[in-house]
Amino acid sequence: MIYLKALMSSFLRRTIQCLLFGMAICCPIAEAQTPTDPVGYITVRFVAGKKGAMAVPLANYYKILSSVTAAGADYVEYGRDLPLDLLGPAGNACLDVRSGPGAGQSLRVTGFSGRRVNFEAPALLPIAPGTEVGIRPNWTIGELIGSPPVAQIQQGSSAANADVLGLQDPATQTTREFFYMSGAGWREIGHEAEGDRSATAIPYRSSLQFFRRGGTDIDIELFGFIPMFYASSHWVRVWPGRNLLPTPFSP
């Protein structure tokens, strides 16, 4: 069993931690703590010899989450300087609109400087000063799954004898596939000679696919909650044992 779980839910074992749609209180493989809040889960089973996909996008930590003081067609500004590591190891990030008429939008960050963050225009609905906006870096393959990966994921000398990870980017409608080459890192299929791809970004809302080459099934459990936008009082809690629809909730 591989566990992908939110920080607030915990079991005493090593895990990969992530959160369901929207919220970003997550971290990579870490030692879990005692449970502090009721949570629920979705179990995704990848059958040996077959391809499957995660039911929900996997989110990362917010580097900043507060109201913006200014906004334009392709930028927002905060009331304080932005952290230098805003884009994380992947070098790219996602902007989430968390309040106002445009709540629920996720836009790609194209750069930042000082207090300003630029994003890929246009936004579906304009962002106004006072809107709560969060910025979170995208995961990398190495951060989320490990390099080397967690023990249950099969390594191999080629894609023919290793588990294959597929990243389908909805923005470009393209799919890239990777496998962990024994002793040599994550390699992209068709570009193996170009070296380790552990730093490849997993853009938020990408479809994460998995082709299980190993001889046994793998169960991956996603722990956490699905937040609604606006105030946390409007979030939908996920209680133990209740499976959820794979579609994101929105107001």
Mean pLDDT of 68-75: 95
More confident residue, 201 or 25: 201
Residue 26's pLDDT band, with cuts at 50, 70 and 90, is very low
CB 65 within 8 A of CB 73: no
> Distance (Å, rounded) from C-alpha 128 to C-alpha 71?
6
Say what the pLDDT of residue 224 is.
56
pLDDT digits (tens, 9 = 90+) for 192-224: 999 999 999 988 778 888 999 988 988 876 665
Residue 232's pLDDT band, with cuts at 50, 70 and 90, is low
24: tokens are 């970003």
* Tokens 């853009």 found at: 203
Rounded mean pLDDT of the chain? 75
CB 123 within 8 A of CB 105: yes
pLDDT digits (tens, 9 = 90+) for 3-17: 444 322 222 222 333
Cβ neighbours of residue 240 under 8 Å, at least 6 residues apart? 38, 39, 40, 41
> Distance (Å, rounded) from C-alpha 250 to C-alpha 167?
24
| pLDDT above 70 coverage of the chain, percent | 70
Q: Tell whether omega for the bond before 35 is within 30 degrees of 0, i.e. cis.
A: no
> Distance (Å, rounded) from C-alpha 151 to C-alpha 155?
9
Tell me the three state secondary structure of residue 232.
Answer: helix
Say what the pLDDT of residue 93 is.
93
| pLDDT above 90 coverage of the chain, percent | 39
> Distance (Å, rounded) from C-alpha 184 to C-alpha 173?
29
More confident residue, 84 or 235: 84
pLDDT digits (tens, 9 = 90+) for 87-126: 998 899 999 898 888 888 889 999 999 999 999 978 888 8
Say what the pLDDT of residue 125 is.
87
Does 53 score more than 90 pLDDT? no
Q: Which strands, in side-by-side order, build the sheet including 51-53?
A: 51-53, 207-211, 164-169, 174-181, 185-188
Say what the pLDDT of residue 15 is.
32
The H helix count followed by the E strand count for the chain is: 1, 19
246: tokens are 């794979």
Residue 34's pLDDT band, with cuts at 50, 70 and 90, is very low
* Tokens 């390594």 found at: 155
Q: Where are the domains of the chain?
A: 2-59+140-223, 64-137
> Distance (Å, rounded) from C-alpha 206 to C-alpha 125?
22
Name the DSSP class of 172: T
Say what the pLDDT of residue 218 is.
86
CB 164 within 8 A of CB 120: no
Does 82 score more than 50 pLDDT? yes
Tell me the three state secondary structure of residue 109.
Answer: strand
Does 138 score more than 50 pLDDT? yes
